[in-house]
Amino acid sequence: MPFHHARLPNGLTVVGETSPSARSVALGFFVRTGARDETPAEAGLSHFLEHMLFKGTPRRTAEAVNLDFDRIGSSPNAYTSEENTVYYAAVLPEYLPQVTDILADIMRPSLRPEDFDTEKKVILEEIKMYDDQPGSVAGEHARRIHYAGHPLGNSVLGTLDSVSALTRDQMHGYFGRRYAANNILLSAAGNFDWDRFLGLAAEKCSGWNTAEVGRTHRTEAPPAGGLHVLTREKVQQQYVLFLAGGPPADSKLRYAADTLALAVGDDSGSRLYWALIDPGSADSADCSYYENDGSGVVYASYTCEPEQTEGNLAVVRKVLAEVQRGGITADELKLAKTKIASRLVRAAERPMGRMQAVASAWAYTGEYRDVDTELANYDAVTVADVRAYLDRYPVDRCTTVAFGPAEKLDGVAGRPA
């Protein structure tokens, strides 16, 4: 599948992977901005702005945006993370000009004051809704504690206070700085003509502004460490998370980290599965590696009935200590790589999966990696590579956060959350 890339005069990066055998095409604008790029006074602004891009443009009302997407049978969506805000859609190939026009149009929103005031209420309700979801609350507390002042610990949603205080002028200024063309990547994958697509991008986006856009604290964050018990009586189960340092997105050790995490905490046939799920000690248990710009992280977690929390805590600590001391076996490595290969290939069969993968790789490393290259990178991981990763990022040197009804855990008194 041929890969193409170009950079418009205003700095917008355009990448694409063409596949004539595909039956659809997916494209997305990746804006290099998220919670980590916000000041305390801007907490939640990136996510709020994501909502506002669907509220209308100088050319389209919010209703027209929705109707135009609907007329071409697309599946538009967006998300905001700590590092990126992404707007994307998938369509039949014949509708590529229309979907490019709509997506490019909403990337230059009106940001009308009346829409801002209305949508702020929606965001505040969303924050309240997430506060009723224990898993989300536990994860957010865990990131904040683990990163201890590093911007990767910033909340994507913000708080009721921070969002309530935001103004339309703040948003307009943030948009002008962060949504500059040279801070955005446009990615496409599937059945499309590259030259035609590049022409569409130039036609729709060449007038966008450029700006001096930076990102601070692109440094690795050491784990805060310790056990932190956060008590909320109304929560029925106990959520326990273990966060250890990991390689950043542009490190070759990321392949060893991803492979190890799967061996330790996949939803079947992993060490945590056999230690907690199979005997019925926990309702869920997993381990995952997340790549970030400058500082990765490995999450292990479990959810269980409160009375089983102490015993499970000891089990997970033992598993992580054994992995740190002895690594993983050749059989575990082979099984993990087989699972990863299957997931990579299945995801690559969809243009949406390739569009996301191509954009992510290019944004973080400036490299294009086709499916065969990624498969080879994972296949090349050895037990020695896993050992090198563990020596650099000890998996048992972690921040542990417990969230739920427990008032005390392992001798540590809880505090309200």
Strands 227-231, 398-404: pairing is parallel
| pLDDT tier at 199, thresholds 50, 70, 90 | very high
Residue 262 contacts residue 336 (beta carbons within 8 Å): yes
Give the count of domains, the chain. Answer: 2
Question: What is the reported pLDDT for 214?
Answer: 86
Q: What are the Cα distances from residue 322, in Å, to 227, 240, 331?
A: 19, 19, 16
Q: What are the Cα distances from residue 317, in Å, to 215, 290, 326, 387?
A: 35, 20, 14, 18
Tell me the average pLDDT across 276-287. Answer: 97
- Using alpha carbons, select from 30, 36, 57, 35 the residue that is nearest to residue 46: 35
Catalytic residue positions, numbered? 50
Are 63 and 9 found together in one domain?
A: yes
Are 360 and 297 found together in one domain?
A: yes
The CATH number of residue 309's host domain is 3.30.830.10
- Which strands make up the sheet holding 85-91, listed edge to edge? 3-7, 13-18, 184-190, 25-31, 85-91, 77-80
The string of pLDDT tens digits covering residues 357-372 is 999 999 999 999 999 9
- Using alpha carbons, select from 361, 386, 378 the residue that is nearest to residue 257: 386
Enter the pTM of the model: 0.95
* Mean pLDDT score of the chain: 96
Are 311 and 176 found together in one domain?
A: no
The string of pLDDT tens digits covering residues 21-37 is 999 999 999 999 999 99
Question: What is the reported pLDDT for 205?
Answer: 98
| pLDDT tier at 216, thresholds 50, 70, 90 | confident
Are 106 and 186 found together in one domain?
A: yes
Tell me the average pLDDT across 162-173. Answer: 98
Its domain, for residue 184, covers 3-205
**Is 255 a residue whose pLDDT tops 90?**
yes
Are 325 and 241 found together in one domain?
A: yes
Are 313 and 370 found together in one domain?
A: yes
What is the three-class DSSP state of 380? coil
Last residue of a domain, one of 172, 205, 238: 205
Residue 292 contacts residue 249 (beta carbons within 8 Å): yes
Tell me the average pLDDT across 249-259. Answer: 96
Are 247 and 154 found together in one domain?
A: no
Tell me the average pLDDT across 268-282. Answer: 96
Question: What is the reported pLDDT for 311?
Answer: 97
Are 269 and 320 found together in one domain?
A: yes
Which residues, other chains included, contact 307 with Cβ-Cβ below 8 Å and sequence gap of 6+? none
Question: What is the reported pLDDT for 221?
Answer: 87
**Does a structural domain hold residue 219?**
no
Are 81 and 193 found together in one domain?
A: yes
Q: Which residues of 280-309 are buried (b: 16+ CB within 10 A; e: fewer)?
A: ebbeebbbbbbbbbbbbbbbbbbbbeeebb
Last residue of a domain, one of 143, 172, 205: 205
DSSP-assigned beta bridge partners for residue 91: 25
Are 263 and 378 found together in one domain?
A: yes
The string of pLDDT tens digits covering residues 46-75 is 999 999 999 999 999 999 999 999 999 998
**Does a structural domain hold residue 129?**
yes
Residue 259 contacts residue 381 (beta carbons within 8 Å): yes
What is the three-class DSSP state of 242? strand
**Is 222 a residue whose pLDDT tops 90?**
no
Question: What is the reported pLDDT for 190?
Answer: 97
Question: What is the reported pLDDT for 165?
Answer: 98
Are 285 and 341 found together in one domain?
A: yes
Are 281 and 239 found together in one domain?
A: yes
Question: ∠328-323-308 over CA atoms, to 5°?
Answer: 125
Tell me the average pLDDT across 65-87. Answer: 97
Residue 361 contacts residue 369 (beta carbons within 8 Å): yes
**Does a structural domain hold residue 189?**
yes
Question: What is the reported pLDDT for 149?
Answer: 85
Residue 254 contacts residue 309 (beta carbons within 8 Å): no
